[in-house]
Structure 1
Amino acid sequence: MKYSKIFQYAYLVFAVLFIYDGISKWNDGTNGAYVSFALAALAVFIFFFRRKFAKKIEKSNNSK
């Protein structure tokens, strides 16, 4: 279970990296900034989804 928490926060790290990539592409004027921002938004969404799902599973395991 501890590994899943580490991977949850890895999604936030990837989101920060994609945001940095998007900003650097935006400032350089190259294409692809929107793709980086979309991937960052997806990574944040996955983080919150997995966190909610893990809490639901943990609550289910504790009630048994």
Structure 2
Amino acid sequence: MIKILKYTEYLYLVVAILAIYKIATLWSVNPKETYIFIFFAVVSIAMFLFRRRYRKRFEQRKKNNQH
């Protein structure tokens, strides 16, 4: 289960990178269209950090219960 959590957190990073790329390409054409991608980038980065912190806590708790 921990491996699945690790992959999902990196999936959020991929979404953030794609959103940032889309922001960079659309910004000069139509800045109003980029607001949704800015939202996706911010939420994806926040979810990456949240999931990473949650996974590390889960691993630490599992490690402490084994000893």
TM-score where L is the length of structure 1: 0.88
Partners of 1:36 and 1:7 lie apart in 2 by 20
Identify unmatched segments of 5+ residues in structure 1.
Answer: none
* Runs of 4+ in structure 1 over 6 Å off: none
Which residue in the other structure is 2:33 paired with?
32
Q: Alignment identity in percent?
A: 30
Larger relative contact order (Cα-Cα within 8 Å, sequence gap ≥ 6) = 2
Identify unmatched segments of 5+ residues in structure 2.
Answer: none
Task: Give the letter for the 1:49 counterpart.
Answer: F
What is the CA deviation profile of residues 1-54 of structure 1, one whole-angstrom value per residue up to 9, with x for unaligned ones? 212111111111100100111122212125321210121011000000000011
Deviates more, 1:24-33 or 1:40-49: 24-33
The CA RMSD over aligned residues, in Å, is 1.2
TM-score where L is the length of structure 2: 0.85
